Amino acid sequence: MASLIDRTRPCERCVINDLGDGTHFENEAAVTSHSGHALDAAAPLYEVIDVYYTLMRYMIETALKRHWFVDVIINQGNHSRANDFATATHLRHFYADNPRVTVLDNSSVFIPCRMGNTFVLCHHTDKCKPGALAGVMANDFAQDWGETFYHYMDGGHVHHGQAKKEANGAIYESWNQMAPSDKYAHDGGWRSRQFISMVYRSKTYGEKGRETVTAEEVKDKLDRLAPGSTAKRRRKVHTV
């Protein structure tokens, strides 16, 4: 995140958008609360929460050094819902006296964010599928929908990028993330690139470009390797 923020040009406002499942488990049993499916747990729950709070605070403080206002969106993830509520509440109280930081309400699974002529709806997409999101925007937020020209829907849940899909006056996109596959995704054959994205969105003209930082780039820096070294590593293969 530091690398990504450092390479962005200073803006009036930075929106940090956690699209859900930031901790990817939310109870000591490390199973989903709804269905009881087992989740990967590499540390006790209290350690994961501590790391997550520290990470969110770090991102906000780093963004404040470069941008004037910082908005924080923490979507409800189906594998982290309790932690998502708690983190948003914690950060809202912590920054209550800082007029430059706003932590958006995440009591609803649909989180709207309007910037002038640009309107964005954020949703984890575990409940409402992408094809129905434009209808939610137009119905639930009819006035803002009608007053804006550029409409975007940011989704998570699938943990991989999906090509932009434009339908019914809005553009939907899901976003890659930095975590490797958990056991469920690995064993099921789901694969995706690991990177995070920053999108420039103008109040006047919608999207104006983007920046990315890949997991391989971060690993090269952490291990002090030549650029591109991590991406060239071969996995062990039995060869005869």
Per-10-residue mean pLDDT of the chain, 240 residues long, equals 89 93 77 73 85 94 96 90 92 97 96 96 87 92 96 79 73 84 76 87 95 91 92 87
Q: What is the pLDDT of residue 161?
A: 54
**Is-contact 228 196, C-beta < 8 A?**
no
- Give the closest residue to 57 by CA, choosing from 90, 24, 13: 90
Contacts of 221 (CB under 8 A, 6+ apart): 3
CA dist., res. 183 & res. 193, Å (int): 16
CA dist., res. 135 & res. 68, Å (int): 33
Q: What is the pLDDT of residue 163?
A: 58
Q: Where are the alpha helices (DSSP H) in the chain?
A: 2-6, 45-64, 81-94, 130-140, 142-147, 183-188, 215-222, 229-232
Task: Using the CB atoms, write b or e for 198-236: b if 16+ within 10 Å.
Answer: bbebeeeebeeeeeebbbbbbebeeeeeeeeebeeeeee
| Residues listed for the chain | 240
How is residue 175 written in tokens?
Answer: 């976003």
How is residue 80 written in tokens?
Answer: 């982290």
Q: Give me the residue label for tokens 């803002």.
A: 144
**Taking the domains of the chain in order of start, what are their residue ranges?**
2-232
Contacts of 151 (CB under 8 A, 6+ apart): 119, 120, 121, 134, 137, 145, 169, 170, 171
Q: What is the pLDDT of residue 238?
A: 87
| Beta bridge pairs of residue 213 | 196
Q: Measured between alpha carbons, how far is residue 126 from residues 75, 123, 157, 178 in Å?
A: 11, 8, 6, 19
| CATH number of 2-232, picked from 3.20.20, 3.30.70, 2.30.30, 3.60.21 | 3.60.21
Contacts of 49 (CB under 8 A, 6+ apart): 23, 83, 86
